[in-house]
């Protein structure tokens, strides 16, 4: 593949490290996050056009504070240090960092020198997000101050000749008014990037790369119908056509019509070699009488792998196994101490007994929104590309307690109505996840002249960025009213609908 422009983001455990990477990529420059322990040789090998240091929770003068090799400042590669990154730069080059008497936090006006290449085109005063306790008391030799606040005499510094820049504030966060402009200035004025990283070129490059790598060999992909595996599958298909086989395990716990929709897109639209395994009976029999959520997850995950393996065995040995791993998965499991590792997410891990030589992860460099862009680029329908997240164990963890076919049917119909009304109300893009839950409560109702004793459906909808925390969404009453009235009228055995008004924490998004 052609050498692409790269900005290296050196992670000092900053909470915004992914945001920095995304801001850079939004400017059409490819960026990669690496741990601060990266060696100078590795940096040289990667040959970046520029380096950004993230912030981080440490104080640079404390023992054990994260530091990378000082040689980094002598490579002639432009460096932008953000917050801790600036303090580390200062400390390493002979300046002094001190604890401030007062922590400076919030959106604060910074007086800036817009003669600096970093601040070109900005007003003299710019509101920036400050969040720090330490500050640069004395700048290193050869540097000058290019930004100040009332409490922070050196809020931005530069050594133009050595192309070293430091800012105390967080440009990467949305509420820093000119954040993107500053990042652009760094990329284009200082690092001299061209900004030619686009999704269409990425798609072409990847397809070519996969073609060359796989040649006439065979690849196998587990398709779930979710965004990541779908995009990975289509990308591979464009590269190697019928040498790719996709196995789609329908565990019978999908939403209404979902299995058929997946089949329609992949078999009919793309003409992908697709094997759909209808394993509903098998899954339901394993799940019979099981009420504990974690056991359900385990059973579904394991069964999924068994079914996949059985199908894969029929195909025989393959050379490559395709996985839909994306960049946040790589960062979360690969960067060391600060990484948060999700536990229960994703169905079951890797199949043990599939005969393959190598794993291929064509999306491992992309963020979710980039995967979506790529999906659209490849011609995958919008409703699939923007599909809300759906857990691997599916409706199995949305039928509370014991799962039966009848209960799944009730839930599917109720959930479908909810989704349909959200769409009609134009709320789809506003809500990050929304679904129905079949509680195992039955209660008394009255319908016509008759007493009923039927199920309660709970509606759940949240707004969230990362799904780690979430707020319940304030769906207009009129929409809820319509959904509720349609569900009790159209879905048999439901006589009550409730709306979940708990945020996460303390509740989780799913009920189980």
Among 98, 180, 346, 452, binds ligand XMP (CB under 6 A): 346
Q: Around Cβ 133, how many Cβ atoms within 10 Å?
A: 14
Q: How far is the CB of 415 from ligand XMP (least distance, A)?
A: 13
Nearest one of 52, 45, 62 to 20, comparing CA atoms? 52
Q: Toward ligand XMP, which CB reaches closer, 160 or 361?
A: 361
Among 147, 391, 413, 417, binds ligand XMP (CB under 6 A): 391
CA distance 399 to 470: 21
- Burial of residue 362, with CB atoms counted within 10 A of its CB: 0-12 exposed, 13-18 middle, 19 or more buried: buried
Q: Interface with ligand XMP includes 389 (CB under 6 A)?
A: yes
Among 99, 204, 295, 345, binds ligand XMP (CB under 6 A): 345
172 included as an active-site residue = yes
Q: How far is the CB of 25 from ligand XMP (least distance, A)?
A: 24
Among 467, 493, 498, 503, binds ligand XMP (CB under 6 A): 467
The single residue of 5, 104, 158, 172 carrying the catalytic annotation is 172
Binding mask 185-224 for ligand XMP (x = CB under 6 A): ----------------------------------------
Among 51, 60, 249, 509, binds ligand XMP (CB under 6 A): 509
Q: Considering only 39-47, 94-102, 306-314, 503-511, which stretch makes contact with ligand XMP by CB under 6 A? A: 503-511
What angle, 0 to 180 degrees and rounded to 10, lies between the N-to-C axes of helices 227-240 and 199-214?
60
The single residue of 68, 83, 221, 246 carrying the catalytic annotation is 83
Q: Around Cβ 126, how many Cβ atoms within 10 Å?
A: 23
CA distance 77 to 9: 13
Q: How far is the CB of 469 from ligand XMP (least distance, A)?
A: 9
Helices (H) and strands (E) in the chain, counts: 14, 18
CA distance 157 to 190: 14
170 included as an active-site residue = yes
Q: How far is the CB of 484 from ligand XMP (least distance, A)?
A: 23
Q: Which two tokens stand for residue 123?
A: 């007003």
Gyration radius of the chain's alpha carbons: 26
Q: Interface with ligand XMP includes 473 (CB under 6 A)?
A: no
Among 272, 392, 395, 475, binds ligand XMP (CB under 6 A): 392
Residue 511 three-state SS: coil
CA distance 331 to 351: 22
Q: Considering only 19-27, 172-180, 386-394, 450-458, which stretch makes contact with ligand XMP by CB under 6 A? A: 386-394
Question: Quick check: 73 and 80 in contact, CB under 8 A?
Answer: no
Q: Toward ligand XMP, which CB reaches closer, 112 or 422?
A: 422
Q: Interface with ligand XMP includes 310 (CB under 6 A)?
A: no
Query: Which residues partner with 461 through β-bridges?
Result: 434
Residues that contact ligand XMP, how many (by CB under 6 A) = 14
CA distance 13 to 7: 18
Q: Toward ligand XMP, which CB reaches closer, 361 or 500?
A: 500
DSSP 399: B
Q: What is the rounded (10 degree) CA torsion for 114, 116, 117, 122?
A: -10
The single residue of 5, 68, 170, 311 carrying the catalytic annotation is 170
Among 181, 213, 286, 344, binds ligand XMP (CB under 6 A): 344
Among 297, 398, 407, 496, binds ligand XMP (CB under 6 A): 297
Q: Which two tokens stand for residue 435?
A: 């679904």
Q: Interface with ligand XMP includes 393 (CB under 6 A)?
A: yes
Q: How far is the CB of 435 from ligand XMP (least distance, A)?
A: 8
Q: Interface with ligand XMP includes 334 (CB under 6 A)?
A: no
Side-chain half-sphere CA neighbours of 11 within 13 A? 22
Binding mask 412-441 for ligand XMP (x = CB under 6 A): ---------------------x--------
Q: Considering only 9-17, 391-399, 472-480, 491-499, which stretch makes contact with ligand XMP by CB under 6 A? A: 391-399
Q: Which residues 6+ apart lie within 8 Å of 335 measured at CB?
A: 11, 33, 35
- List, as one string, the DSSP characters of 221-268: EEE-SSHHHHHHHHHHHHHHGGGEEEEEEE-S-SPTTHHHHHHIIIII
CA distance 164 to 166: 7
Place of tokens 């400042």: 73
Q: Which two tokens stand for residue 88?
A: 């580390």
Q: Toward ligand XMP, which CB reaches closer, 56 or 391?
A: 391
Which sequence positions are flagged as catalytic? 83, 170, 172
Interface residues toward ligand XMP, by CB under 6 A: 297, 344-346, 389, 391-393, 433, 467, 504, 508-510
């Amino acid at each position: 593949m052609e050498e692409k422009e790269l900005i290296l983001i050196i992670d000092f455990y900053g909470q915004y490290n992914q945001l920095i990477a995304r801001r850079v990529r939004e400017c059409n420059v490819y960026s990669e996050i690496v741990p601060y322990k990266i060696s100078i040789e590795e940096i040289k090998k990667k040959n970046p056009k520029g380096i950004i240091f993230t912030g981080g929770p440490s104080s640079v003068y404390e023992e054990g504070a994260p530091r990378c090799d000082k040689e980094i400042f002598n490579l002639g590669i432009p460096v932008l240090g953000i917050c801790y990154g600036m303090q580390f730069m200062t400390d390493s080059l002979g300046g002094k960092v001190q604890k401030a008497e007062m922590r400076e936090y919030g959106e604060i006006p910074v007086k800036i020198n817009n003669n600096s290449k970093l601040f070109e085109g900005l007003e003299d005063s710019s509101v920036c997000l400050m969040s720090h306790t330490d500050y640069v008391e004395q700048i290193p030799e050869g540097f000058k101050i290019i930004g100040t606040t009332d409490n922070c005499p050196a809020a931005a510094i530069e050594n133009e000749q050595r192309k070293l820049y430091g800012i105390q504030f967080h440009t990467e966060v949305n509420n820093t008014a000119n954040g993107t402009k500053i990042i652009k200035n760094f990329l284009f004025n200082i690092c001299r990037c061209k900004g030619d990283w686009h999704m269409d070129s990425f798609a072409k490059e990847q397809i070519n790369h996969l073609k060359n790598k796989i040649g006439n060999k065979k690849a196998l992909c587990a398709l779930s119908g979710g965004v990541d595996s779908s995009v990975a599958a289509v990308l591979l298909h464009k590269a190697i056509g019928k040498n790719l086989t996709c196995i789609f395990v329908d565990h019978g716990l999908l939403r209404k019509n979902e299995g058929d929709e997946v089949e329609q897109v992949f078999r009919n639209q793309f003409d992908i070699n697709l094997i759909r395994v209808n394993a509903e009976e098998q899954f339901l029999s394993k799940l019979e009488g099981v009420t504990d959520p974690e056991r359900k997850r385990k059973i579904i995950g394991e069964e999924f792998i068994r079914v996949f393996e059985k199908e894969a065995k029929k195909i025989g040995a393959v050379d490559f196994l395709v996985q839909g791993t994306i960049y946040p998965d790589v960062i979360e499991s690969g960067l060391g101490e600060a990484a948060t590792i999700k536990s229960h997410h994703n169905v079951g891990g890797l199949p043990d007994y599939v005969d393959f030589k190598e794993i291929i992860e064509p999306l491992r460099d992309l963020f979710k929104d980039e995967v979506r862009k790529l999906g659209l680029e490849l011609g995958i329908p919008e409703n699939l590309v923007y599909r809300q997240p759906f857990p691997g164990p599916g409706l199995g963890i949305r039928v509370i307690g014991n799962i039966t076919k009848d209960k799944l049917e009730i839930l599917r119909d109720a959930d479908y109505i909810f989704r349909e009304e959200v769409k009609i109300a134009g709320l789809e893009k506003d809500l990050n996840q929304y679904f129905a839950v079949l509680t195992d409560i039955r209660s008394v109702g009255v319908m016509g002249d008759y007493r009923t004793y039927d199920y309660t459906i709970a509606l759940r909808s949240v707004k969230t960025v990362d799904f780690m925390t979430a707020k319940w969404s304030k769906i207009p009453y009129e929409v809820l009213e319509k959904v509720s009235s349609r569900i009790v009228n159209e879905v048999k055995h439901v006589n009550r609908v409730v709306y979940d008004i708990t945020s996460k924490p303390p509740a989780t998004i799913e009920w189980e």
